[in-house]
Amino acid sequence: MTKKLSCRLAADIGGTFTDIALECGDRRFTAKVLTTPKAPEIGVITGILEALKRAGLTAADVDIFIHGTTLATNALIERKGAKTALITTQGFRDVIEIGRESRFDQYDINLVKPEPLVARALRLTVPERLAVDGSVVIPINLDQIDAHVRTMRAAGVTSVAVGLLHSYANPQHEQLVGERLNQLMPEAYVSLSSKVCPEIREYERLMTTCANAYVQPLMASYLRRLRDELDRIGLSAPLLLMTSGGGLTTLSNACELPIRLVESGPAGGAILAAHVGAKCGVDDLLSFDMGGTTAKICIIDNSEPLKSRSFEVARSKRFMKGSGMPIRIPVIEMVEIGAGGGSIAHVDSLGRIQVGPESATSEPGPACYGRGGETPTVTDADLVLGKIDPLRFAGGSIQLDAGSSRRAIAAHVSDRLGTELETGAFGICEVVEENMANASRVHAIERGKDVRARTMVAFGGAAPLHAARLAEKLGIGRVIVPRSAGVGSAVGFLRAPLGYEVVRSAFARITSLDIEAINRQFDEMITEASAVIREADPDAQLQSRRSVFLRYTGQGHEIEVQLEDRPLHGDDREALADAFTSAYIALYRRKIDNAAIEALSWAVTVAATGMATAQDIAFIRPDMADAAEPVSRSRLFDGQLGIFADSPVYWRDAIGTDQLISGPAIIAEDETSTVVTSTFCASIDANGYIILNAKSDGTGHGHAF
């Protein structure tokens, strides 16, 4: 790094709260203010001023400001984006409605598919056609654009998606449409699919482009207003935006490709988990974030969260694959399931306990909140099993009523099963933990990963309550529980690398790769990505990482193979084949002889070196007691032992770094409790993290009966 970014600011806009984190030298200051949905910049500015005040600094002292937001995601979920039109190839008006022609639930006769973002009346076509190699089959005729502009204006369209068949192979036709639209309709935003998502598969590409167009007016105007407000308070530092892929991008790029900003909050959480692991010297992690309504699980290899190039947003049947809009952008890959503290439990017609995805949310909340909730939730079960101290929950701000929990569990679960109350509560926790374990395993197999050799990083309000049992189920021997910062994603943003990824499809068998063409394409992609980084930091030292997505000819799913950061040579073809074969065997046990190998897409990530790792900050804590005594005792149910065990409760801040706590035990703090099951020991490390290690006597795995 050529300049020292000593004062770094981050803001994360969530649905309810806007979180601010400010780090200066070795100190961190935070602020949490209510989100102001109509003008989100107001909440951000309020929070920034509050954090600056706490730090005794002025806006001019800030060297860099990193921002993430759920605004784009919420606009898609709540359908509050712009009136959008789509211009596409004649004969293909309905690509975004026809989709993949399947049903996401095979047994739901009343299934409803998500409405397309663009109504059919605003899906307009132009005569033109490209072939798969980008050659022109029918030259484009732009005459109808004039009439289309009249239609769009009459309908109040403010944003236009342009998506033509095979435009990933040749963007010229789309560019011609874009230029004509800029002339005739200069007030409208235009998104070209060859720019937003230059990848094969028309449904996914066009959906991504329509989604980009749909959120663009909203996001671009918000971001410009924010920039103005920042200038007004004298905060002239560069503004960088957190992307779903875990990198950072510039204001102008974010205004052009706002779809890349969705899910930036969870990405911040995964980056924070990677950072926590790195500080403990462990690189291969499973990050486990469990809040009130969902749990998110992410695999981290070598301190880098796994990336994917597609995900679904706004699932209509919650969490069911296929019920949302497919979006193809670089994204930190996570599984999200409907498992949180507020997830509701019931008994189904087979006499099985089911938990989630329905949630009691914050109103009325779990039965124990005493706000009228009558259905049992995971939090109610945690309370009955002795994991939560009813008087200390959420720092004592909500007094929990265990009687209501017991009544709700009895009425909806244990009486229906004919079991003891505690068995019902244990069943609720076991089912939700098993759901999370199964989701983790299926996710791991999809990526060819093994969860067992990993360290779990558990964060979010409900995660520490369930982490140890989840680790037992997954065969994981170590769990790290960082101190809750309350503003986790915003802190994660401060750890994000300044990096930008570009992906392009270029289809070829590797035996007949046009090496020169690929190298030219890489040069263009690096130039494109570098320009984004340079805009943020003109002096940055750049580093690029190249990869290719390969598969056997005839298959439908690709494997990413890393390349060296240099132009390809003629003799790399064989090395590529070898690298692919090894990766394939690692994933699926067997290689396929006689099958050709083909490349589908090429990717480059350009990152600024040096900026990713800010200096580590030791969290300043009140003076620790040398040897903590239990503050109380709890009757804690232990899944492995199958009994209630009289267990000590320790106050987290009172535990010394030299103290070893043997489970079953509870470590309590203001915002949550960490359950140490009978197979784990707990200690506090120099960072203030709780470290759970499986006991070495072999009880770390397997059941007591």
Residues between 560 and 599 with contacts to other proteins, criterion CB under 8 A: 587-590, 592-596
Token representation of residue 156: 């109040």
DSSP letter at 360 equals -
DSSP 683-699: EE-TTS-EEEEE-TTST
Helix (H/G/I), strand (E/B), else coil: 499? strand
CB 333 within 8 A of CB 442: no
Buried b (16+ CB within 10 A) or exposed e, 592-623: eeeeebbbbbbbbbbbbeebbeeeeeeeeeee
Q: Choose the stretch contacting other proteins; rule: CB under 8 A; options: 223-231, 293-301, 419-427, 511-519.
A: 419-427
By CB under 8 A, tell whether 173 contacts other proteins.
Answer: no
Whether residue 57 contacts residue 23, with contact meaning beta carbons closer than 8 Å, is answered with no
Q: How many residues bind other proteins (CB under 8 A)?
A: 78
E strands, 3-99, where? 7-13, 17-24, 27-34, 64-69, 84-89
Minimum CB separation of residue 463 from other proteins in Å reads 20
Which range, of 50-58, 88-96, 389-397, 531-539, touches other proteins by CB under 8 A? 88-96
Q: How far is the CB of 552 from other proteins (least distance, A)?
A: 7
CB of 584 to other proteins, least distance (A): 9
The residues in 492-521 that bind other proteins, with binding defined as CB under 8 A, are 507
Q: How many helices, marked H, and strands, marked E, lie in the chain?
A: 17, 35
Closer residue to other proteins (CB): 2 or 102 = 102
Give dist(CA 633, CA 666) in Å, integer: 9
Least distance (Å) between residue 204 CB and other proteins: 8
Give the residue with the Cβ less far from other proteins, 28 or 166.
166
Return the structure tokens found at 700: 């770390």
Least distance (Å) between residue 353 CB and other proteins: 6
Q: Which helix (H) or strand (E) holds 644?
A: strand 643-651
Told to check if 695 binds other proteins by CB under 8 A, we report no
Closest separation in Å from C-beta 89 to other proteins: 9
93 binds other proteins (CB under 8 A): yes
Q: Which of 63, 430, 528, 535 binds other proteins (CB under 8 A)?
A: 430
The nearer residue to other proteins, 419 or 632, going by C-beta atoms, is 419
The piece of 79-87, 221-229, 275-283, 551-559 that touches other proteins (CB under 8 A) is 551-559
Greatest Cα-to-Cα distance within the chain, rounded to the nearest angstrom:
82
For other proteins, the binding residue among 92, 278, 371, 632 (CB under 8 A) is 92
- Using CB under 8 A as the binding rule, whether residue 79 contacts other proteins is answered as no
Q: How far is 507 from 523, CA to CA, in rounded Å?
A: 17
Segment interacting with other proteins (CB under 8 A) among 194-202, 248-256, 283-291, 571-579: 194-202
Task: Using only the alpha carbons of the chain, give its radius of gyration.
Answer: 26
x/- map, 325-344, other proteins, by CB under 8 A: --------------------
SS3 163: strand
SS3 422: helix
Question: Which of 417/624 has CB closer to other proteins?
Answer: 417
The binding track of 195-214 with respect to other proteins, each residue x by CB under 8 A or -, is -----xxxx-----------
Q: Among 63, 301, 434, 560, which residue sits at the site for other proteins (rule: CB under 8 A)?
A: 434
For strands 499-509 and 159-163, give the pairing: unpaired
**8 A C-beta contact, residue 248 and residue 496:** yes
Q: Per CB under 8 A, which of residues 100..129 are in contact with other proteins?
A: 100-103, 106-113, 119-121, 129
Integer Cα distance of 581 and 591 in angstroms: 7
Q: φ and ψ at 264, to 5 degrees? A: -75, -25
Instruction: Work out how close the CB of 135 gets to other proteins at its nearest, in angstroms, rounded to a whole number.
Output: 10
- Spatial CA neighbour of 519 closest among 489, 539, 548, 555: 548
Residues 335-394 that bind other proteins (CB under 8 A): 348-353
Alpha-carbon span 644 to 627, nearest angstrom: 26
User: Are 305 and 332 in contact, with CB atoms under 8 Å apart?
Assistant: yes
- Restricted to residues 451-490, the positions that interact with other proteins (CB under 8 A) are 473, 475
Return d(Cα 379, Cα 400) in angstroms, integer.
Answer: 10
CB of 58 to other proteins, least distance (A): 54
Angle between helices 463-474 and 421-446 (to 10 degrees): 60
692, two tokens:
């759970």
How far, in whole angstroms, is CA 469 from its chain's centroid? 23
Q: Does 39 bind other proteins (CB under 8 A)?
A: no
Q: Which of 83, 279, 573, 701 binds other proteins (CB under 8 A)?
A: 701
CA distance 506 to 516: 13
Least Cβ distance, residue 642 to other proteins (angstroms): 5
Round to whole Å and give the CA distance between 227 and 426. 51
Q: Which is nearer to other proteins, 130 or 400 (CB)?
A: 130
Q: Which position among 556, 570, 622, 698 is part of the footprint of other proteins (CB under 8 A)?
A: 556
Residue 450 interacts with other proteins (CB under 8 A)?
A: no
What is the x/- site pattern for other proteins, positions 290-309, by CB under 8 A? --------------------
Q: Is 696 in the site for other proteins (CB under 8 A)?
A: no
Report in angstroms how near the CB of residue 396 gets to other proteins at its nearest: 33
SS3 177: helix
Dihedral sign, CA of 279, 488, 45, 49? Answer: negative
Binding to other proteins in span 130-149, by CB under 8 A: 131-132, 137
Considering only the stretches 210-218, 537-545, 554-562, 654-662, report the one whose residues sit in contact with other proteins under the rule CB under 8 A: 554-562
- Shortest approach of other proteins to residue 556 CB, angstroms? 3
Does position 702 interact with other proteins (CB under 8 A)? The reply is yes
Q: Cβ contacts of residue 381 below 8 Å, gap of 6+? A: 345, 405, 409, 424, 425, 426, 428, 429
Residue 9 C-beta: closest distance to other proteins, Å:
42
User: 123: burial class by Cβ within 10 Å (0-12, 13-18, 19+)?
Assistant: buried
**Footprint (CB under 8 A) of other proteins, residues 624-683:** 642-643
State the Cα–Cα distance between residues 593 and 72, nearest whole angstrom.
46
Q: How far is the CB of 205 from other proteins (least distance, A)?
A: 8
Give the shortest CB-683-to-other proteins separation in angstroms.
27
Nearer to other proteins, 264 or 435 (CB): 435
Q: Is 420 in the site for other proteins (CB under 8 A)?
A: yes
Instruction: Please choose, out of 61-69, 289-297, 414-422, 541-549, the segment that lies near other proteins by the rule CB under 8 A.
Output: 414-422
Cβ of residue 374: shortest distance to other proteins, in angstroms? 23
